[in-house]
Amino acid sequence: MNTTDSPLLSRAMIAVICAQFLSAFGDNALLFATLALIKQQTYPDWSQPILQMAFVATYIVLAPFVGQIADSFSKGRVMMVANGLKLAGALVIGFGFNPFLGYSLVGIGAAAYSPAKYGILGEITSGEKLVKANGLMEASTIAAILLGSVAGGLLADWHIVAALVVCALVFGGAVVANLYIPRLPAARKALSWWPQAMGRSFFNACILLWRDGQMRFSLIGTSLFWGAGVTLRFLLVLWVPVALGITDNATPTLLNAMVAIGIVAGAGAAARFVTLETVRRCMPAGILIGVAVAFFAVQTSMLNAYGVLLVIGVLGGFFVVPLNALLQQRGKHSVGAGNAIAVQNLGENTAMLLMLGLYSLAVKLSVPVVGVGIGFGVVFAIAIAALWLSQLRAKA
């Protein structure tokens, strides 16, 4: 069955988007519920980003393997098993075991899920529809981040155990939704299942993608973006009490929701105005993200904070969606979409780990949170400007 010629909103695409929404909703609700749990259990402030670091470390460790798994089996079934692992992690936390251990198990599921969820887009659509499909995926993901974050924070303020139960139920729903994704054939046959051989194959895929100027451009850009995004999320948790004098669990989630709303709008704009041939149009938006973050850090008004975060989200959606589409299109024809996304995940999660580590260190050293925000925004803007300049020179 040739699914790439199907309409954009085919049965397969609708099933993928629904499954992705539920899975991402559970991820974000569980994060804020677990953050509330470790605050209740009086863990130190600097341990909060450690929770996310344990999550992203699983992406790095499993990167050599998950791409081949995604390409060697029907991606819809890989997504189903991965959501089952997320469900198990939520249950570990809900039954009172170590929250860092449980969230690491969720990370294992997420690491396996990511190459399959993005790789399947290139199997059910193609060409310019792929940019639009990525826009739908990002819109679904960000809507889930919006609702999941808010639900996690509000439920945790009411009852932490109830919040954890809701997370487990949502992951269960994601497992069911995956059953409605058509069983597509495997993208390519695995050469070997020996870890040494898989690691060598992944290393070769990394080299192949990195030597391609366009792929390197996409990998660096998306890595910087997601590293910055996850750091901003934790920055908000400590920024809200300092700048706004509010100490509940819900306010940081509502502020994160504004970023999410903006990304939905930015993703839609990217799908309309950017094609695979005009990807570099997204770069000014990346620079402005850093400028806006630095400006946000000095705000003291709730209304201003909401407005600036909305702008950051719009810029972020416009920046990252075309880069994702470029990676999927070129990666599909070189190392396989699953392997390409796994290489991307390695870069993104290495960036997250480094940025969260620096952020955690800054908090432990008692650096003022406003100063951290300003410095973070300035460094990000300079990094994206340098990436854009290097791309322009390569084209010259």
Give the per-residue pLDDT at 1: 46
Q: Which residue has the higher pLDDT, 109 or 359?
A: 109
What is the rounded distance in angstroms from the CA atom of residue 152 to the CA atom of residue 250?
8
> Which runs of consecutive H residues, i.e. helices, occur in the chain?
11-40, 48-72, 75-94, 99-119, 121-124, 128-158, 160-178, 195-211, 213-244, 250-273, 283-297, 302-332, 337-364, 369-395
What are the angstrom distances between the C-alpha of 286 and each of 175, 183, 313?
35, 37, 11
Q: Which residue has the higher pLDDT, 212 or 31?
A: 31
User: Residues 79, 113: contact at Cβ < 8 Å?
Assistant: yes
What is the rounded distance in angstroms from the CA atom of residue 346 to the CA atom of residue 219?
9
Helix (H), strand (E) counts: the chain: 14, 0
Each residue's pLDDT tens digit, 102-116:
888 998 898 888 777
What is the rounded distance in angstroms from the CA atom of residue 147 to the CA atom of residue 145?
6
Each residue's pLDDT tens digit, 265-323:
887 788 777 766 676 777 888 889 989 999 988 888 888 989 999 999 999 888 887 77
pLDDT tier, 394 (very low <50, low <70, confident <90, very high otherwise): low
**This prediction's pTM:** 0.70
| Residue located via tokens 């993928």 | 16
Each residue's pLDDT tens digit, 32-79:
888 888 888 777 777 777 787 888 788 788 877 777 777 777 777 888
Q: What is the mean pLDDT of the chain?
A: 80
What is the rounded distance in angstroms from the CA atom of residue 277 to the CA atom of residue 336?
21
What are the angstrom distances between the C-alpha of 260 and each of 140, 273, 309?
10, 20, 9
pLDDT tier, 258 (very low <50, low <70, confident <90, very high otherwise): confident
Domains along the chain? 11-395 (1.20.1250.20)
What are the angstrom distances between the C-alpha of 351 and each of 26, 241, 264, 334?
23, 27, 23, 24
